[in-house]
Chains A and B, each alone.
Chain A
Amino acid sequence: MSVEPATVKRIASLARIAITDEDAQRLAPELDNIMGWIEQLSEVDTTGVEPMTAVIPNTLRLRDDVVTEGGIRDLLMKNAPEAEHGFFTVPKVIE
């Protein structure tokens, strides 16, 4: 079948969700079942059909170039698990 535990681990890593080997073993057949069901879409002939881009016909409005926001640092940090000296902080990143 197509969705192997290794695939689940790769996808979970892309999605930044830590999973154990047992999780991957358990999820693989489950996702495989769902993907197998989704597979029926391939039987639809969509030649010449444009993918939908707007649910309801509507065009993108553009904003005026005006500064209307900002200066709310304390408000932004209020919910932060960790913040210091006006910065959000994260474990040190080595680039």
Chain B
Amino acid sequence: MVSEGTMTDSYRIHGETGEWEVVVGLEVHAQVTSNAKLFSGASATFGAEPNTQVSLVDAAMPGMLPVPNGECIRQAVRTGMAIDAEINRWSRFDRKNYFYADLPQGYQISQLYHPLVGEGAIEIEDGNVTKVIGVERIHVEQDAGKLMHDQHPTRSYVDLNRSGVALMEIVSRPDMASPAQAGAYLRKLRAILRYVGSCDGNMEEGSMRADVNVSVRKPGAELGTRTETKNVNSVRFVMATVEHEARRQVGVIEGGGTIVQETRLFDPDKGVTRSMRSKEDAHDYRYFPDPDLLPLELDDAFLEACRASLPELPDAKRKRYEKAGVTRYNADVLTAEVETARWFDALVETGAPAGPASNWVTSELFGALNRVGKTIADSPVAPAQAAELLALVADGTLSGSLAKQVFEVMLETGDAPAKIVEDRGLKQTSDTGAIEAVIAEVIAKNSGQLAQYRGGKEALFGFFVGQTMKATGGKANPAVVNQLLKAALQG
């Protein structure tokens, strides 16, 4: 469902001269999951000793040539397919020329004129409304190396381990209208990348970072001049960047100034953006086709294999869950992270009914994981064990509260629920004779309350239920207790 304007796009900056709209576009750099770099056979893994994952090609030694890594192309194509984008069967690599110490070749191999992936779209939720954010393109390019400025009084240190690592640059349309939408887009994009397996989405390690393009305008006016805040590395910071940068721009314009198109940096400590003078001079990149590389042409078989390898994606999964009786809220929660969705799928595959299973996962399991500080990926309880537990509830063996007790034991011991029920005698009882005997006792002990109840204070019913459950050690079937109590109390 697509909704335009009013509801989702109601975010406004309240300036002195009235209200301002915010226009946001994101260029996300996502590191492609691969063993080796985009154009060399050096490892692309994170965290190695400086300059140990550098080939002759990455260090731009004279006469060295790039040869593309097929896996990086495949992952970018799969990503494009996951956002329903046009895949360009004919694409080409270009050189982006500039001089910097993290760029040994003096150019970055990228794709300007003919990117691998064209127009696509990503659906986001803003509140309870769905909005479609356009993706203009995805192209494949090399990452740069890393500079360290704090190791030496007069020198910067150059580490080329990242030099040449494959990135996808995912360029959105300026379709976001608030910090919340920018955040939702980035979270959704990250989820998709992780479902597809084309990027690990690890923002702390720099696997994903966003260039945030922000401009402001009076409602309905032409687009304003934008600024680009580079390399923002968390959802929270992206939202803060949008918010701060929009306010700053409104302040500048209302103060009689104009916005200059420039590159800015987000300072997470101060929560503000500032101009990045060091990149000012680098605007003329002199792009041209890389003469070391031929055009990249993809055939049907390659594209078919890419398509066939795509997993079920978050939106499709969510819809399927909803159809199976999961609430919209639970479905959103369960599909937000690929590990959660996989865990839930495994649970449902064992036959557990989706609705109750989703409630159990989002409340009981998440609560427990929170308490023990674990993620679902290393959950101490496996989907099959959870299925067993839910089956015991479904067939009446366990009440809700008994199930909680059993689950606690499962978390501690890792034992199977049936064994726990057996060992600890936690089985729920529906034996009416036994329950009636307990009820008789409870009534006898509480004659005062009985009189009040019979005198019209019906709220005391809960008191009798509680006393009965307590007396049975929680094992009595609550439905049976209710039914028998009602009869007994009426006398």
Which residue numbers of A lie inside 8 Å of B, CB to CB? 14, 16, 53-54, 58-73, 76-77, 82, 84-95
Residue of A nearest to B34 (CB): A65
Which residues from chain B contact A60 at a C-beta distance below 8 Å?
Answer: 68, 293-297
A59-B295 in contact given A71-B52, A84-B152, A89-B157 (Cβ < 8 Å)? yes
A6 to chain B, nearest CB (A): 15
Which residues from chain B contact A77 at a C-beta distance below 8 Å?
Answer: 51
A67-B42 in contact given A53-B92, A60-B295, A76-B59 (Cβ < 8 Å)? yes
Q: Are A69 and B42 in contact (CB under 8 A)?
A: yes
Q: Are A87 and B54 in contact (CB under 8 A)?
A: no
Within 8 A of A (CB), among B119-170: 147-149, 151-160
Q: Are B294 and A58 in contact (CB under 8 A)?
A: yes
Q: Are A66 and B294 in contact (CB under 8 A)?
A: no
Known: A53-B295, A60-B294, A76-B51. 17 other contacts (CB 8 A): A14-B284, A14-B286, A16-B99, A53-B92, A53-B294, A62-B69, A63-B36, A73-B51, A76-B54, A86-B51, A86-B52, A87-B148, A88-B158, A89-B155, A92-B149, A92-B156, A94-B149
Which residues from chain B contact A61 at a C-beta distance below 8 Å?
Answer: 67
A85-B286 in contact given A53-B294, A93-B147 (Cβ < 8 Å)? no
Instruction: Name the one of A14, A66, A89, A95 contacting B36, with C-beta atoms under 8 angstroms.
Output: A66
Interface residues of B toward A: which range? 35 or more
Residue of A nearest to B90 (CB): A53
A94-B73 in contact given A67-B43, A73-B54 (Cβ < 8 Å)? no
Which residues from chain A contact B423 at a C-beta distance below 8 Å?
Answer: none
Residue among A68, A72, A76, A88 with max Cβ neighbours from chain B (10 Å)? A88
A68-B41 in contact given A53-B92, A60-B294, A92-B152 (Cβ < 8 Å)? yes
- Say yes or no for B56: interface residue by CB 8 A criterion: yes
Which residues from chain A contact B488 at a C-beta distance below 8 Å?
Answer: none
A84-B157 in contact given A63-B68, A69-B41 (Cβ < 8 Å)? yes
- Say yes or no for B466: interface residue by CB 8 A criterion: no
